[in-house]
Amino acid sequence: MQPVIADKNIDFKLVFYTAPSLFLLLKPNSPEFTILDANDAYLKATMTKRFEIINRGLFDVFPDNPANLKANGVSNLKRSLNKVLENKQANAMPVQKYDIQVTTENGIAFEERFWNPKNIPVLNEKNEVLYIIHQVEDVTSTFNLESKMKIASAEIDEKSSLLKENEERINAILNALLRYTTMDFSEKLKITDKGDELDAVVVGLNSLIDELENQMLLLKIVNDELEYSNNELDSFSYSVSHDLRAPLRAINGYAQILIEDYGHMLDETGKHTIQVIIKNAFKMTALIDDLLTFSRIGKQGLTKVLLNMHNMIDTIVQEIKNQKQDNTIDFIIKPIEDVEGDNSMIKQVITNLISNAVKYSGKKEKAIIEIGSFKKDETLVYYIKDNGAGFDMGYYAKLFGVFQRLHSTHEFEGTGVGLALVQRIIKKHQGEVWAEAELDKGATFYFSLPTRN
């Protein structure tokens, strides 16, 4: 019988590249296991490109997720590959949780994935391992479905148990009710013999209703007191701030007269002292203005309209550029989603956050401020990112407090009300505001708003 000879014209490289399964060809050089090639299906599943991974170590390209302290995908895979080298036999692994790196708008992140891997040696005539074929199957969707089914099954069991208990209780009550006629029932609701099961039900229901009414009354009292306290606090803030304006204007006015009309009679120390008075009077005026705005926001109602966020942000950026006359700031405006909100309030939020980014990036040789948005669940998230002074996240709890500052006024001017105002406006829109930062490396401020119904 003649031996079967394979067709020499078969393009095995093409077969490898277009195979539907996921294949990676590895060099048997433990512990690096250099990647020699990968087929198209593998590149697509791992969201990588061939030129990015070829001739690099497997675990350099696909490291464990550093945020997951329990991640063991790398150690498990190394153990399997070394077994292949030692035994020169294929090694099938159980399902592994092995997160892969993905590029997002905010940088590198890890995406949770589950794999079913198998490592197969390619041997030569001397029984030496020339290559290792790393074959995997992405079973993330199957694994997630199984997890959901387990959770659903547990919930069904729990609800079935509760249903059985409730069924027994309902049957007991129904049996008690059936022992009475309609006339008897109306009589029993008024006064009945203590030993009857129906009376126990009626008494229990009446007790629950009384307790519920008491709790509702208590809740209304607390809400009324809270609303009264908030109104009193806002009124007090507004009144105090308004009343402080008059003496401040007088102080500033007299100081200006002294410096302009009697400046020639003062020495340098006297002139400096008056300048300090004027400067601090301006600071106090700015603080009062911010406090008045903060107080008004608490009372002001929302007038929601569909906002063209890109136009709003572009206008604010141009205004800030015109004020600063500073070309060292590079503004990067990414695609911005429109959203519903109060025009003047959201403009205040954007202005405060971009102004802060400009202020805290002012000492950079080349400041970069990036503004963008993305969808998250049922919200739109907007962000303002800078490469400025940043702050220590250890003091994050103070960030959005009134009069709280994480930098001294000698370093950066400000009243300490801006971020508190931002938070109050966003909360009023049923949204959230938060930040991420690193000292001397910049900060990113986020705020979310509900998506349009």
Instruction: Please classify residue 422 by burial: count the beta carbons closer than 10 Å to its beta carbon, then call 0-12 exposed, 13-18 middle and 19+ buried.
Output: buried
Distance of alpha carbon 111 from alpha carbon 116, whole angstroms: 16
Predicted confidence at residue 84, as pLDDT, reads: 92
Distance of alpha carbon 294 from alpha carbon 404, whole angstroms: 14
pLDDT digits (tens, 9 = 90+) for 264-321: 787 888 778 778 777 777 767 766 666 666 666 666 677 888 999 999 999 988 888 8
Tokens coding 197: 């099961």
Predicted confidence at residue 103, as pLDDT, reads: 64
Task: Identify the CATH homologous superfamily for domain 12-138.
Answer: PAS domain (3.30.450.20)
Distance of alpha carbon 407 from alpha carbon 413, whole angstroms: 9
- For residues 448 and 376, the answer to whether their CB atoms sit within 8 Å is yes
Distance of alpha carbon 370 from alpha carbon 183, whole angstroms: 77
pLDDT digits (tens, 9 = 90+) for 198-216: 555 555 555 655 665 666 5
pLDDT exceeds cutoff 60 at 157: yes
Question: Residue 359: how many CB atoms within 10 A of its CB?
Answer: 19
pTM, to two decimals: 0.42
Predicted confidence at residue 227, as pLDDT, reads: 59
Q: Closest Cα to residue 56, out of 31, 80, 85, 32?
A: 32
pLDDT digits (tens, 9 = 90+) for 405-431: 554 454 545 556 778 888 888 888 889
Q: What is the dihedral of CA 306, 311, 315, 320, to 10 degrees?
A: 90
Q: What is the mean pLDDT of residues 67-94?
A: 86
Average per-residue pLDDT for the chain: 75
Residue 247 vs residue 350, higher pLDDT: 350
Predicted confidence at residue 139, as pLDDT, reads: 77
pLDDT exceeds cutoff 50 at 188: no
Task: Please state the domain extents for the chain.
Answer: 12-138, 229-298, 300-450
Q: Closest Cα to residue 316, out of 367, 356, 364, 285?
A: 356
What percentage of the chain carries pLDDT values higher than 90?
20
Predicted confidence at residue 361, as pLDDT, reads: 82
Predicted confidence at residue 62, as pLDDT, reads: 83
Predicted confidence at residue 263, as pLDDT, reads: 76
- For residues 373 and 341, the answer to whether their CB atoms sit within 8 Å is no
Q: Is the dihedral of CA 296, 301, 302, 303 positive or negative?
A: negative
- For residues 358 and 320, the answer to whether their CB atoms sit within 8 Å is yes
Residue 351 vs residue 173, higher pLDDT: 351
Predicted confidence at residue 373, as pLDDT, reads: 93
Predicted confidence at residue 283, as pLDDT, reads: 66
Topology of domain 300-450 in CATH is Heat Shock Protein 90 (3.30.565)
Rg (CA), the chain: 35
pLDDT digits (tens, 9 = 90+) for 99-155: 766 666 666 667 777 878 899 999 999 999 999 999 888 777 766 665 666 666 666
Predicted confidence at residue 136, as pLDDT, reads: 86
